[in-house]
Structure 1
Amino acid sequence: YLTIWIEDSANVNETKVIELAKRFLDQHAASPFTPEVRMKLAEIYYRHQDFANAQTEFEILARQNPDNPLGEKALFFAAESAMSSMGEHSLDRAIVLFDEVVRSNGPLRWAARNEQAVIERKLGKSNDALVLYDGVLKSDAEPSEKREALCGKGDIFFEMGGSDPSNYQRAIEIYDKLASDKNQPIHWRNQALFKKGLCLEKTRDSAGALATFYKILEDEARPDRRHEFFWYYKAGFNAARLLEDDSKWESAAAIYEKLAAAGGSRSDEAKARLNHLRLEHFLWTD
């Protein structure tokens, strides 16, 4: 038993850890340590994206130890494994497993509902997903789970905007609500504002979209803000594109300079775009 944890902490050869865990489970099925060992084995399979084996081990743990504190987590990740699997009917199986998590009424029940909604969206069942998200929003779920549900609901209306443009306005209202939460992590606010900007672009309100993207860029420049680069860069590149489309080369260049100076993962991309823009439009600097 201890050897499994020693080998795992060494972080050298996870194949050996798998072998040790399987041997322990074969030889000590009645051990009180069996749930922990099976969880370790399942987690390693999951990390290695061997979702079929991960699902099997998580499900065995959940079925054999329904009252164990690890049981709910195992059932949740059995569903996550099924959701990530490429197997036939795997999404249907994931929905069933997530529903079991919900019915167990444990701390992961609303996270499971959100995941069910994601699956319904993948299956093209937007209305079913909306019902699930509304259930989370009306519940006693944690703020993080409600933010996820609210964002998911906005995303559905954005996707439905292609067939009915009035849905873009419904999405904007949801993203505004998400962005207005002052206590949330900055990446949620930036994501909401970015997606609002996309909605405004879809409704041909380029000026409104540009102003929304600028909000993200301006807030990130504040010294009291923690840096969030993913949505910051997406907003910056979209803002620069809108300015280029409007032939406002110097304004676009100023944004690329800001992105290049930010020091994140897309700074080099911004520098390359800035140099190209300067050469193409003779934006010489002193």
Structure 2
Amino acid sequence: MAASYRPAPPCVLVFSGSDPSGGAGMQADIPAISALGCHPLSVPTALTVQDNVSVFAVHALDPELVRHQAQVLIDRFDIAAVKLGIAGSRENAETIAALIGQLRAKNPALPVVLDPVLANGKGDNLSKDDAARVIEPLYALATVITPNLNEAQCLCGDVPPLQQARELIRRGCQHVLLKGGHGAQQEDVVNRWYAGQPDAGESANWRWTRLPDEFHGSGCTLAAALSACLARGLAMREAIDLAQRYTQHALSTSYAIAAGQRIPNRIALFDTAH
């Protein structure tokens, strides 16, 4: 039987931490990116000790090891997008910023999705340094940043969402997707997209029925899916829409491996057409 090879998929370069429970971080990024039709190139930045409830320890990898892993991939493969999860340390964030500078020198329009993960759902820290300070070198590189309500408040203060988005745009982020899945438990989850100049208003919003449970790695899933959609060449609005629909499907078909947060079903059958 003759081989039936598929065309080469776009490659997404991922920097994120390893979660041994298989629910968040790199273990969430890889299947989500694959499900959306792209190939993940994975560079771990930290090894974590965690389950589906708590983070017990975070061990940032050496910046030179992070750089070496990524440099080999950058030198060999065409990178269509970058997804950033936890850097683990300020030194790693600075190393990642320099690597993205290399990529942007070749492709100034390279999409970069920054998921500013500061803590897990329980509130456990995910960096050996001040997590909010760690991501400072990455703002100006972000095509889109995807904070939840708690993260936006930590980064920008307890001000209305519009002011938070404008502050993040002022710091250099081109787009802000402010997620409503964490924070005040309203009936629906409202995700708000802001784009353009620092004085721009809300560009669009999406409303989703709030599911009754908590989920491990939901934010990672959305950011990874968004990076894949942008790698495929979708415009920002279409990419955000498809990434959200995929994430909602993964959450609504999630499963439990123990008491605590449920695991999104990232390999569930899903129509990736847009």
- Structure with a larger share of its residues in helix: 1
TM-score (structure 1 length as normaliser): 0.27
- Structure with a larger share of its residues in strand: 2
Higher Cα radius of gyration: 1
> Which fold has the larger relative contact order, with Cα–Cα distance below 8 Å and residues 6 or more apart in sequence?
2
